[in-house]
Structure 1
Amino acid sequence: MRPDLRFSSHSRLNLLCLVLTVLALALQHSFFGNSPGITAAICSAAIGLALLLHWAITPLRLEIQAINLHAQNLQDGSFNTSANQLTVHELRPLADSLQRMSAQLRAERATLYQRELLLDTVLQSSPTALLLTDAADTVLMSNAAARQLLHASKAFDGSKLHTIATDKPELHQALMRQQQGLIRLDTAEQSVWHLSVSQFQLNQKLHWLYLLKPLTREIQREELNAWKKLLRVIGHELNNTLAPLSSLAFSGGQLAQQQQHNQLGQLFDTISERCLQLNQFVQAYIEFAKLPPPQLANINWPRLINQLQDQYEFELLGCLPAADWQADAQQLMQLLLNLLKNAHESGSTPEQITLKPVEHPDKLLLIIQDAGGGMSDEILQHALVPFYTNKSGGSGIGLTLCRDIIEAHGGHIGLRNKPPGLEVTLTLPRHQPHTTA
């Protein structure tokens, strides 16, 4: 191995002074002989020259130290420091270059940090459940939706994938098999999910990304839109048929009356009456299919409750909402009237029907409870399906209209059996009031 023969600047200056001293002594010996006085003068001059050179090079050495310190800070990832511009003169161009480099790296790191913060915020607030695992199926990262769906909102980063969601066999099996597609969960609020699985290389290592997207509302919305389109078509055709039938029945009744055919007149009157009832029935469905977008405004809760109690008796539990909540007052009134009507028709006494508001920072819950014995599992499963009813003479659009209204407000409706009857929970999200310039 070759020895390192490099010298420092300090050593080189000392060597230069030594060489000059030796040359001066050699010249003295050649021309003046051995004179102690000249020898002493040469040595003193050499020492003075060395001190002078060291004094002259000290500022440059300090500049180099400042530049080196700045470079080390950059290497350590500290971009907020710089070389002392007051001590840098000869190396100012290099110091300025390092300063610009520091500012650029600082700006890039700040931008990268903001992007990471934004990405983390988006991931944590996304309704899509996200899981990132390594090749050994160890969970490296999860967002809030994944923790809520798979582990009751508890953190499970660092756990093995096979230990997650064991209480949901369908979901657990799909994760283990990496089976992409739709998954139906009977116990979750969002019952339909879509699982997608992808793999990628990160730091030369294999990783797996699992995405679970909730599709319940999208499917229900498309289903409801399909029903509405069907209603509009059927309503149009029925109206085209009922109008001439009603006119002919009226004309036939007038003719039978003129000819004093009482039985024939009663027949035409029955046809006219049935046409009128059928037309009213069709119009009710058409109104449901043409539900307008909600016009949001602050709800006057005392007025709303008084109007509801003028129609149906119930007990108000707790206090009225204190904060301002935005909703369409007419649609909200219709929604609550439908639910209170169902509660009374369940066989519950008015004293056992309650309405309870529960305020949260981001949402308002309106909970209606009756004592009518609840619903069977089959009825509860299909209660929100259009045209489904277990009542004789029922239209099957009451609860569907309720769902349509609350979802148009960005909320949702939940039904569950809670002894002694049925509990209906309306979730109304907070909307920011519209401001005008």
Structure 2
Amino acid sequence: MALLPLKPGRSGLYLGAALLLGGFALLLWYALPQHYVVFAGYAALVLLLLLWLLLRSYLRQLDTEVMALNLQADSLRDQSFNLTANRAVLRELTPLAEALNQMSAELAQQRATLYQRELLLDTVLQTNPSALILTDEQGRVLFSNPAARHLLSGGRRFDGSYFSAVLADWPELLKACQAGAQGLIHAGDAQNVWHLSVSPFRLNQREHLLYQLKPMTREFKQEEIKAWKKLIRVIGHELNNSLAPMSSLAFSGARLVKKPDFSAADQAQLAQMFAVIGERATQLNQFLQAYLNFAKLPPPQPSLVHFASLINNLQNQYEFELLGDLPRSEWFLDSAQLTQLLLNLLKNAGEAGASIAGTTLSFRELPHQLVLELQDDGGGLSAEVLQHALVPFYTTKPQGSGIGLTLCRDIMESHGGSLELFNQSAGLLVRLTFPRIAATSLPGI
């Protein structure tokens, strides 16, 4: 069926013209004198013949134009946008033909743009190193790219299969996909690390899921090697800084003891050497203990926090000002780890030269969050230090280990919270945000 049914009804036009001329002839019949009646009849017949010829010519022209436009409309229906109506036969319907030509040009441009986008999208999907799997609401695979087939089925296609059947040999991955888990997961064995992303969306009024799976094992191994190398360099540097002077002092002490005229002054000097060796040994032990504590951070054990006791404990070790009121609601956190975290931050503030009055701690309760803000007036951090402050082993202190703030960040992340650093006023602002944990979710409650 044509898109433009524009052919006019010829019989209707002919009947209308005949009635018009018939009425005109009757009017002449009654209005003119009797001797003019025959003349009027002949005139009416001539007019009727002339009108018929004009209508026939006009309708033939209109029929030709309509056929030309119908051909163009049929080509548009068949998605062929190159055919246009013959302008040589167009007169009355020229505006309509121009509108069709404009619509045809716009549709052609849109199709070309859509084709280019589809080609680009297909190229991206086919060459993407991440495994991409699209499933419908029943879990049946609708699309998988080469990376997914190579990763999960040895290069074989599995479109049309159920995704759960494809992941039968990957129970950890199957469990994560069914739970809609996001982030890093270990699958296959402890050495395989993947990043899983699950994105639900509606397509053709139906729910679909797009799974993106990126192997991260190689990257993690490279980062692990870098971390170990950096750790060995840091520990080796600290060991060398402590052991070299200790060895030198021990050698000097041994020579001093062997002197035949060992005097009281030599004894005092020897005692001083032993004191220096002991001090260096203590510092080295503290340094190694800090690394051990960092590596052995246990999972948090949330319990009801008594903030008054917590503040008293902190102020017994570091002086600071408490701004505002303590939290009035019940908050369940690991009190020991929270204390360790705040002690590290207060220690950093003191080492930065913050004053007692300029070191403040405040609490802010939100419906689902507890926000702690520690502000000091120690001058803040440079842009470079602020950018790398939470990077493990990064430090600007001569005797620093570079794990203090990293340990604080890990404590916050283990609680599901966040740690943020800002240069504000005359010093550094540390913002700690803890999510609310319901008492009913704790074991034994």
Q: Which bracket does the TM-score occupy, shorter chain normalised?
A: 0.3 to 0.5
TM-score (norm: length of structure 2): 0.47
